[in-house]
Chains A and B, each alone.
Chain A
Amino acid sequence: MGKIKNFSFGIIILIFGFWILNFCGCAPKTTSKITTTITIWHWMTDREATFQELAKRYKTKTGIQVNFDLYAPSDAYSQKVRAAAQGENLPDIFGLLGEKRDFASFIKAGHILDLTPYMEENNSCWKNSFFEKALAVNEFSEGNSYGIKAGIYGVPIDVMTIQMLYNKDLFSDLGLNPHKPPMTFAEFLNIAKMISAAGGSASGGKAANMQGLVSGWGEVWMIDCLANNYAFNIMGEDKVLATIKGEVPYTDSDWITVLSLFAQMRDSGLLSNGIITMVNKTAEQLFATGKAVFAFNGSWCVNVYKGMNPKLNYAAMLPPKVSDKYPMRIWGGAGSSFMVNARSKNKAEAVKFLKWLTDRDQQAYLAEATNNLPANKDSLSKIPNILAQFADDMELTTHPNIWGVSEFPAVIEALDKGIQSIILGEKTAQQVASEVQKIKERELAKKVNRNS
């Protein structure tokens, strides 16, 4: 009998312990009546320190406490935001990762404040301080296909572009002029052949096992990016958008040309099989340590390469063009953006903070501290040379989030996976094109059925 008593006693202790735990957890219920607090959720580990510094400065200036909460990596952050959205527990300010259609859904669900009135007051003073392209990603235009009322819903805090980079020292080693990157696709392939010839020898030294182009093509979106860039170059923006709308099939000869570019890159030795097993960080590591001649990466890489190899001698270049008919376009625009929670109790203060954050001085500080391009037009003064090269090509940027139409995810996935197959040598451009088109037609039919 005593044993039962002991046991029940033990259970009671356990339950009591749990109960105490519960109260350990509670935050003090007294919200500070003196200082307003703004909570911001973000995923940018690299900028956490800089953000904390900016929060300190803002507090000194206005007395308002700003809490930056970091949740990394970005995948986990995304899930947290979506869970909090379901629980209607979003913070005052947060960033949104993902496609434009997700952005649209958040707006429709009432989570995001329409910032247009704030942007346009005082003669659009705030609006005009940004690069046009940076704002475009956060904007929904008149008559957009997402059904969102036209306006600006987010604030960019930096911009980025995705371009090609080349290693100047390796260029010299190959006997090429380090100040003249390849301008045309044909030149690009020629250099590739030179790299293969030099790297074929297992004699060691710098040339052994040198890679042509490295990029994180294990992460399929980067493949999508380059394919899209070349699509714009070969058939022009209108035809690309028409394809997305379903008016032009993927089996069109222009698209087959785009797809066959990857086969050509593979055959010339520019790409190795291994490129599909790389995440972007692996590709960055290879380029930083001088094992690859070219890289396809975004302007954030400046910070990465600096950390791994400050002596890296490299420069940016546009993807070498295939055709002269249409301009080569690159992806770019807002890097990261913040949105205001429409249900927040501190809306006005939140907007004020974002205005301060994107002001000239703060943007300059942010850009300098984290080696990223500022979103504010006037803050370009202190960025390093290499970053300026990325900024130079801003007018050529485009981005899926500004086209006003979205391709079906199943189609994008089929396209990217198909290109991976082409690089592996398993499928031809024609095969991939017809497979993608089949899926496109299926999705279109589904959409029609859904709407009827």
Chain B
Amino acid sequence: MKFKDTLENYVFVLPAVAIFSIFYIIPFIWVFQLGFYDWDGILPTKIFIGLGNFQDIIFNDSSWWQAMRNAGYITLIALIFQNTLAFLLAWACDREIRLKNFYRVIFFIPPVLSEIVVGMAWRFIINDIDGANILNRMLISVGLPQLVHNWLSDPKTALTTVALVHSWKGFGWGFLIFLAGLQTIPRELYEAARVDGANAWHSFRKVTIPLMIPVIVLVAILTILGTMQAFALIIGLVGGELAGHTSVPVLRILASMRYSSRFGYACAQGISFGVVLVIISFIQYRFSRKYRQA
């Protein structure tokens, strides 16, 4: 009886595990062991160098760590700016207001657009050489000429600009998930709170936030994982790594694979990247667990 029960349970996960084992685990093992070789991706022979690649990454590759820091910065901005924006918009659209449906569609347009269009369109707005310089002109017209910058080519502002555009493109997802989450909060709870004398702020704090915590954590994890791996938008906006100022890990891995023909090294970079992401996720998970107990 118990055995049949367990078997039934396994049937549920079987298709997923089967596909996963074939299409993820096997390539993963292949890539993992390649990290210990020096290989250009073409030659029939590979040279085993043990931890050589990893040593290079940790001690000799300052551009890799710069890329990691940049990705971390973009992710931080995404977590703060993008998700707060998404949450506020979702909360606003959850209420009974006019044009709700209109907003719900509009806010999802940025994720749908391809990175090419987003890159070109924003470059057009921000850049002065090959664009319409709209942003700077607006700043001048409201009386803030000292804020005028070469947003995309000035190393001080390039990364932040990229991060903000990236958040703009990504908030639609958070908006969607937050909205779905807000919809599942039973209205009776709000009614009950109001009957108890709570005002809008109180019910927000005591009802909405606690019930949304799992969703917030979910969105945070997805944001971290997605943003750390971003790269296409950077090419569209700033054309490259801007002497390292807009490097991100995926671009570095691609450079290792293509320009340097160091396939084994690229695999080692990928593994190191994965390890960092796992650590971050783990910390975040622990942190959210503690917060939930409290």
Contact = CB atoms under 8 A, between A and B. Distances in A.
A216 B239 contact: yes
A279 B127 CA distance: 14
Contacts of A261: none
Interface stretch (B38-46, B74-82, B88-96, B183-191): B38-46
A365 B151 CA distance: 46
Contacts of A82: 41-42
Interface string A265-283: 0000000111011110010
Contact of A417 (B38, B244, B258): B244
A410 B260 contact: yes
B43 A105 contact: yes
A216 B238 CA distance: 11
9 contacts: A105-B261, A108-B43, A216-B239, A218-B239, A219-B240, A274-B127, A413-B63, A418-B243, A450-B47
Interface of A is mostly: helix
Interface in B235-294: 235, 237-244, 255, 258-262
A434 interface: no
B196 interface: no
A276 B239 contact: yes
A102 B40 contact: yes
B60 A276 contact: no
Contact of B129 (A211, A420, A426): A211
Contacts of B150: 273-274
Contact of A209 (B40, B129, B152, B155): B129
Contact of A409 (B44, B237, B262): B262
B239 to A, nearest CB: 3
A274 B152 CA distance: 8
Interface residues of A, number: 41
Interface string A412-440: 01000110110010100000000000000
A285 interface: yes
A276 B242 contact: yes
Interface of B: 38, 40-44, 47, 60, 63, 127-130, 150, 152-155, 158, 235, 237-244, 255, 258-262
A291 B130 CA distance: 9
B244 A286 contact: no
B121 to A, nearest CB: 14
Contact of A273 (B60, B153, B244, B258): B153
Contacts, number: 99
Contacts of B130: 274, 278, 282, 285-286, 291
A259 B14 CA distance: 61
B239 A278 contact: yes
B43 A277 contact: no
Interface of A: 75, 78, 82, 85, 98-99, 101-102, 105-106, 108-110, 209, 211, 216, 218-220, 272-274, 276-279, 282, 285-286, 291, 409-410, 413, 417-418, 420-421, 424, 426, 442, 450
A420 B238 CA distance: 13
B10 to A, nearest CB: 15
Contacts of A410: 260
A273 B154 contact: yes
Given A277-B239, A424-B243, A426-B243, A101 B261 contact: yes
Nearest to A96: B42
A285 B124 CA distance: 13
B42 A409 contact: no
B250 to A, nearest CB: 13
A106 B241 CA distance: 29
B42 A106 contact: yes
Nearest to A412: B259
Which of A75, A218, A220, A285 has most chain B Cβ within 10 Å?
A218
Contacts of B60: 442
Contacts of B241: 417
A273 to B, nearest CB: 4
Nearest to A82: B41
A418 to B, nearest CB: 8
B42 A102 contact: yes
Contact of A413 (B41, B44, B237, B260): B260
A418 B244 CA distance: 10
**A-B interface, 9 closest residue pairs, ranked by CB to CB distance from nearest:** A218-B239, A420-B243, A409-B260, A218-B240, A105-B42, A273-B153, A274-B153, A277-B238, A279-B239
B129 A291 contact: yes
B50 to A, nearest CB: 13
A352 B240 CA distance: 41
A56 B150 CA distance: 51
A420 B239 CA distance: 13
A273 B151 CA distance: 11
A279 B130 CA distance: 12
Contacts of B258: 75, 78, 98
B107 to A, nearest CB: 29
Nearest to A109: B44
B240 A413 contact: no
Contacts of A274: 127-130, 150, 152-153
Find the residue from A276, A278, A279, A413 having the highest chain B CB count within 10 A. A276
B152 A277 contact: yes
Contact of B242 (A75, A99, A418, A420): A420
Given A78-B258, A273-B150, A409-B259, A417 B239 contact: no
B238 A421 contact: no
A442 B47 CA distance: 19
Contact of A102 (B38, B255, B261): B261
A204 B238 CA distance: 26
Among A109, A209, A410: residue with most chain B CB under 10 A: A410
Best-buried of A211, A273, A426 by chain B (most CB within 10 Å):
A273
Contacts of B127: 274, 277
Contact of A105 (B38, B40, B237, B238): B40
A341 B158 CA distance: 45
Contacts of A98: 258, 261
A304 B249 CA distance: 33
B155 to A, nearest CB: 6
A273 B241 CA distance: 14
A220 B244 CA distance: 12
A413 B242 contact: no
A276 B150 CA distance: 12
Nearest to B41: A82
A68 to B, nearest CB: 24
Contact of B259 (A105, A106, A413): A413
